[in-house]
């Protein structure tokens, strides 16, 4: 069974590109354009990883992450923030909300699938420096 990924992003072009890149790597991918749709999808779809746009309309990606972390069924899911903001404070805010990592946009189409794979296979807490902009995650064990 392929690993599964939920992409939450309000930009259709970003969703399309991300979906193509991930499906070409064999992942099962579901897409949500906003927080209500993402919450509906996770009722029946249990992803291994969620790629979470920080800037969503209505409920933003960080609040959605906080809510997902309160759900026992989603606590073990890896959540990686996606944002055009590369500042350390943004990365710290994402970590404080419950994100396991941070990838800056625009994504690098040549390395994106590898970075996602490494997040899926890394199981440890990730520091803000362990983002796509600074390199993929490297921690071998994930703590809850």
- Number of domains, the chain: 1
pLDDT value at position 125? 41
What residues make up the domain containing 110?
4-121
The predicted-structure confidence for 92-123, as pLDDT tens digits, reads as follows 999 999 999 999 999 999 999 999 999 999 85
Residue 85 banded pLDDT, cuts 50, 70, 90: confident
Place of tokens 């890394």: 122
Q: Is residue 76 part of a domain?
A: yes
Residue 141 banded pLDDT, cuts 50, 70, 90: very low
Identify the CATH number of the domain in which residue 58 sits: 3.40.50.2300
Q: Is residue 44 part of a domain?
A: yes
Q: Is residue 128 part of a domain?
A: no
Pairing of strands 49-53, 4-8: parallel
H/E stretch holding 103:
strand 101-104
Determine if the peptide bond prior to 135 is cis (ω within 30°).
Answer: no
Q: Is residue 62 part of a domain?
A: yes
Q: Is residue 49 part of a domain?
A: yes
The Cα–Cα gap between 64 and 62 comes to 5
The predicted-structure confidence for 28-77, as pLDDT tens digits, reads as follows 999 999 999 999 999 999 999 999 999 999 999 999 999 999 999 998 99
Q: Is residue 139 part of a domain?
A: no
Mean pLDDT of 136-144: 35
pLDDT value at position 1? 79
Q: Is residue 141 part of a domain?
A: no
pLDDT value at position 123? 54
Q: Is residue 94 part of a domain?
A: yes
pLDDT value at position 122? 85
Tell me: pLDDT of 130 over 50: no
Place of tokens 């796509």: 132
């Amino acid at each position: 069974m392929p690993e599964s990924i939920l992409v939450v992003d309000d930009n259709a072009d970003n969703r399309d590109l991300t979906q193509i890149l991930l499906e070409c790597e064999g992942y099962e991918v579901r897409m949500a354009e906003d927080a209500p749709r993402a919450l509906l999808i996770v009722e029946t779809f249990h992803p291994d990883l969620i790629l979470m746009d920080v800037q969503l309309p209505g409920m933003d990606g960080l609040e959605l992450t906080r809510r997902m972390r309160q759900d026992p069924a989603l606590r073990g899911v890896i959540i990686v923030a996606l944002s055009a903001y590369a500042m350390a404070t943004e990365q710290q805010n994402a970590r404080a909300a419950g994100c396991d990592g941070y990838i800056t946009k625009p994504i690098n189409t040549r390395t994106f699938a590898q970075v996602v794979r490494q997040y899926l296979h890394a199981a440890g807490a990730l520091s803000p420096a362990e983002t796509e902009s600074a390199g993929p995650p490297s921690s071998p064990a994930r703590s809850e």
